[in-house]
Amino acid sequence: MAARYGVLLVNLGTPEAPTPKAVRQYLGEFLGDPRVIDAPRWLWWPILHGVILRIRPPKVAKAYASVWQEEGSPLLAIGRRQQRALRERLATQHGEPVPVELAMTYGKPSMEEAGLKLRESGVERILVVPLYPQFSRTTTGAVFQRLAKALEPCPHLPELRFVRDYHDHPDYIAALAASVRQHWETQGDRGRLLMSYHGIPKRYVDNGDPYARHCQKTSQLLAEELGLGEGEWFQSYQSRFGREEWLKPYTDETLKGWGADKTECVDVISPAFAADCLETLEEIDAENREYFQQAGGGRYRYIPALNDRPEHVTMLANLVEQHTAGW
C-alpha cells in the first residue's frame, strides 16, 4: 500500500568534490541563478564566466578541502543523517513508513532524482520542506522555482504543500535554546552570544524580502528563551559577496571590533543554517575566529548548527505533522 504522503527535504547544495573543477561547476549553477544574483544577464554573465569562475574555484576548493569529511561534503553528510532520522521518527509516529528524500537546489542529489524516488514509493502527495528557517527569495524562493522547473516535463503532477518558513516556530526556538544551554553547561560559563546569519544584499530587503525581519524575530525569541538581557547578545550577518551593501552589521567587522575591545569570551551560533557547512565550519569557526583573536580577543567558541540533534528532528517531525494535517 502506498504511503499517504512523502517528504522532500531541500537544502542549498554542494560541489561533488573539493576540487576546482567540481567547485566551478557548482558555483556556475549557484551564482547563475537570477534569484541569487539578480543583475542583468548581459552584465553579470561576462563577470561570472570571465572572472569569478576563473579566479574563485581554486580558493573555494581549498576551503572545502579543509572541512571535507569521509562521507563527503558536511552539508550532504549531515543532510543524509537528517533524512534518515526524520524517516525513522515519522515511521515510529505513524506506525508505517513515510518516504523522506533529500534534494539540493544546486548540484546533487537533484530535485529530479529525489522526485523520482518519491514517485517510485507510490506517493501522490508531497510536502516540501526547505531547510531554511527564515524565508528569503534567494533560498526558499529559489527552491520553489527550481521545483517548478523540475516538474515542468511531468505529465502527472503530485499534490504539493510547501513550508515557507519556521523562523518563529516554538519547537525551533526551543531546539536552538537547548543547543546553547548544552554548550554553556559543557563549557562551564557563558560568553557574549553572537547570532550570525547568512547575509543578503540590503537592496533585496528594501524591495520586500522579509528575511531580515525573520532573522530579527528569531534572535529576539531565542534571547527571550535564554533569559538574555541587553548587551548579552548581538545579531550580525556573514558571507557577503561583491561590492554591493549587504545587511549590516557584518559578522567579521563585529568580531574584529570585539577583539580590539579585548572581549574575553564569545559564543557564536548561526541560526540560519539547519546543517553545518562551509559557511559555518570554515568561515565562522575558522576564519572569523582568527579575526577575533588576532584583534586581541580571548576565547572564541562556535556552537554547531542543529544538524541531526534529537530536538531538531522532533521539530522537523512536528512541522511535517502540522503541514500534512488532513492528508
Stretch 287-308: mean pLDDT, rounded?
98
Q: What is the number of structural domains in the chain?
A: 1
150 inside domain: no
Q: Are 130 and 102 in contact (CB under 8 A)?
A: no
Instruction: Assign 58 a pLDDT band (cuts: 50, 70, 90).
Output: very high
Separation between Cα atoms, residue 298 and residue 264, nearest integer Å? 4
| Residue 115 falls inside a structural domain | no
Matching residue, cell 523522506: 100
Q: Is 124 annotated as a binding residue?
A: no
pLDDT tier, 302 (very low <50, low <70, confident <90, very high otherwise): very high
User: Cβ contacts of residue 238 below 8 Å, gap of 6+?
Assistant: 196, 197, 198, 199, 250, 251, 252, 270, 279, 283, 284, 288
Cα angle for residues 288, 294, 298 (degrees, 5° grid): 85
The partner residues of 193 in beta bridges, in order of sequence, read: 233, 267
Contact (Cβ atoms closer than 8 angstroms) between residue 63 and residue 263: no
What is the predicted pLDDT for the residue at 155? Answer: 87
Are the C-beta atoms of residues 86 and 312 closer than 8 Å to each other?
no
CA distance 271 to 200: 15
Asked if residue 251 belongs to a domain, the reply is yes
Contact predicate 121/3, CB 8 Å: yes
Is the pLDDT assigned to residue 1 strictly greater than 80?
A: no
Cβ-based neighbours of 155, under 8 Å, separated by 6 or more: none
Which three cell numbers, joined as nine digits, stand for 32?
Answer: 547563475
Is residue 271 in a domain? yes
Query: How would residue 3 be classed by pLDDT, with cut points 50, 70 and 90?
Result: confident
Report the percent of the chain where pLDDT is more than 70: 99
CA gap 160, 60 in Å, rounded? 36
Confidence band for 291, pLDDT divided at 50, 70 and 90: very high
pTM (two decimals): 0.96
Which triple of cell numbers denotes residue 152?
515542468
Residue 52 has what DSSP assignment?
A: I
Give tens-digit pLDDT for 78-133: 999 999 999 999 999 988 999 999 999 999 999 999 999 999 999 999 999 999 99
Q: Is 312 exposed, middle or buried (0-12, 13-18, 19+ CB in 10 A)?
A: buried
Residue by residue, DSSP assigns 115-165 as HHHHHHTT-SEEEEEES-SS--TTTHHHHHHHHHHHHTT-SSPPEEEE---
Residue 175's pLDDT is what? Answer: 98
pLDDT at residue 156 in the model? 86
In a domain, 151, yes or no: no
* pLDDT beyond 90 at 244: yes
Neighbouring C-beta atoms of residue 93, cutoff 10 Å: 13
* For range 246-267, the mean pLDDT: 98
Q: How confident is the model at residue 2 (pLDDT cuts 50, 70, 90)?
A: low
Cell of residue 154, nine digits: 511531468
Q: How far is CA 125 from the centre of its chain?
A: 25
Q: How far apart are CA 151 and CA 158, in angstroms?
A: 9
The verdict on residue 22 lying in a domain is: no
* pLDDT tens digits, one per residue of 211-225: 999 999 999 999 999
pLDDT confidence of residue 124 = 94
CATH number for the domain spanning 266: value is 3.40.50.1400
Range of the domain at 258: 170-303
Of 104, 54, 18, 20, which Cα lies nearest the Cα of 282? 18
CA pseudo-torsion sign 182, 187, 188, 191: negative
The one-letter amino acid at 177: A
Q: Is 167 annotated as a binding residue?
A: no
- Considering the domain boundaries, does residue 274 fall inside one? yes
At 289 the pLDDT is 98
Nearest-CA neighbor of 179 among 168, 198, 164, 193?
A: 193
Please report the pLDDT score of residue 317 as a whole number. Answer: 98
The CB-side HSE value for 260 (13 A sphere, CA atoms) comes to 6
Strand locations in 133-274 (E): 159-162, 192-198, 233-238, 265-269
Mean pLDDT of 138-142: 98
Q: To the nearest whole number, what is the mean pLDDT of the chain?
A: 96
* Domain-embedded: residue 256: yes
Residue 37 has pLDDT above 70, yes or no: yes
Residue 7 host element (H or E): strand 6-13
In 10 A of CB 270, how many CB atoms? Answer: 24
pLDDT of 134 reads 98
* Position 246 pLDDT exceeds 70: yes
